[in-house]
């Protein structure tokens, strides 16, 4: 039972890293967010996101279904509570790909069992290059994502670890180390129980 929160600019390689560790581990639950943005080419409902309308999103906020939600790049993104609670009860490591606002909220609630990691590219030029190569967004959207990335970078200090994705294989190796460390994080009550029993 542990949480690993990943943040970082779109296009820095978070999804590819997560996909690699998911292949090797069946005791990890990746939190699939709900969003009001349109699916990109190749994205699948229920795998990358749950895609809903702004009205439906608003309704789910009012019904208290989200653990956290935020407006990012003009769209809404949120994490539903239910699947997270189930995965934690099953003793899984839950990985989130959420922005800095979501990280702040999750940290308040789960500090004692949470590890956080900020992932980014070596510089903004490489990020722009990757977003252009990915060819899933128009240039205005890419520019907007770069501006957003700069403001997210201002909050790196709030994270436990920083990973600069300059080489995928080496970065994956480091990412796997953070995943292992995240699993070892123990809540205070558990430490107390262990100490008493010991």
The residue ranges that bind ligand 5GP (CB under 6 A) are 7, 10, 33, 37, 68, 70, 72, 77-79, 97-99, 101-102
Q: What DSSP assignment string belongs to 78-147?
A: EEEHHHHHHHHHTTPEEEEE--HHHHHHHHHHHGGGEEEEEEE-SSHHHHHHHHHHHT-S-HHHHHHHHH
Write down the least CB distance from residue 86 to ligand 5GP, Å.
Answer: 17
Between 33 and 165, name the residue whose CB sits nearer to ligand 5GP.
33
Among residues 105 and 172, whose Cβ is nearest to ligand 5GP? 105
Residue nearest to ligand 5GP (CB): 102
> From the CB of 173, what's the least distance to ligand 5GP, in Å?
22
Angle at 80 between CA 1 and CA 148, to 5 degrees: 100
In whole angstroms, the minimum distance from the beta carbon of 195 to ligand 5GP comes to 36
d(CA 52, CA 34): 7
Q: How far apart are CA 125 and CA 162, in angstroms?
A: 19
CB of 115 vs ligand 5GP, minimal distance in Å = 16
Closer CB to ligand 5GP, residue 16 or residue 193?
Answer: 16
Question: Edge-to-edge, what's the strand order for the sheet holding 2-7?
Answer: 28-30, 93-97, 2-7, 114-120, 161-164
Nearer to ligand 5GP, 60 or 97 (CB): 97
């Amino acid at each position: 039972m542990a949480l690993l929160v990943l943040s970082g600019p779109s296009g820095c390689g978070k999804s590819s890293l997560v996909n690699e560790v998911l292949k090797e581990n069946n005791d990890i639950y990746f939190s699939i967010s709900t969003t009001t943005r349109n699916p990109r080419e190749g994205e699948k409902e229920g795998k990358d996101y749950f895609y809903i309308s702004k009205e439906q999103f608003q309704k789910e906020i009012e019904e208290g279904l989200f653990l956290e939600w935020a407006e990012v790049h003009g769209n809404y993104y949120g994490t539903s509570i239910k699947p997270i609670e189930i995965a934690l009860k099953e003793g899984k490591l839950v990985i989130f790909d959420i922005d800095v606002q979501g990280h702040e909220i999750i940290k308040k609630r789960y500090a004692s069992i949470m590890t956080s990691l900020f992932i980014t590219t070596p510089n903004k030029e490489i990020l722009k290059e990757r977003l252009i190569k990915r060819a899933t967004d128009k240039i205005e959207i890419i520019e907007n994502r770069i501006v957003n990335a700069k403001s997210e970078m201002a909050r790196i200090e709030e994270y436990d670890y920083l990973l600069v994705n300059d080489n995928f294989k080496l970065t994956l190796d480091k990412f796997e180390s953070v995943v292992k460390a995240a699993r070892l994080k123990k809540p205070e009550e558990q430490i107390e129980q262990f100490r008493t029993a010991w």
